[in-house]
Amino acid sequence: MIVVVAYDITDDRRREDVAMLLSGYGPRVQLSVFECELRSVEELRQLKAEIRARIDTLEDQVRLYPTSEQSFAERAIIGARVVEERADYWIVR
């Protein structure tokens, strides 16, 4: 199943932690939106628990939208902009 995950997280560290978690499940398609591929309802439960453990539930919000294969295949993408993943690097002298 594909689950679209959108978030509004106020703290940079928490936001980066959630983005890193989600990047293990699927691509980032907008700055705060991922399309996550999950194998089972149990994996969805686990993802929800991992997100809950990483956010402040009084300040942040994460929305998960499970989709069927059919409804996901019918999605419309308008525009060609691609979100580039931030590449961290070190400069050593």
* Cα atoms in the Cβ-side hemisphere of radius 13 Å centred on 6: 4
Check: CB of residue 32 under 8 Å from CB of residue 4. no
C-alpha–C-alpha distance, residues 93 and 91, integer Å: 7
Burial bucket for residue 36 (CB in 10 Å: 0-12, 13-18, 19+): buried
Task: Could you list the residues known to form a binding site, using ranges.
Answer: 8
Give the residue numbers of the binding site for Mg(2+): 8
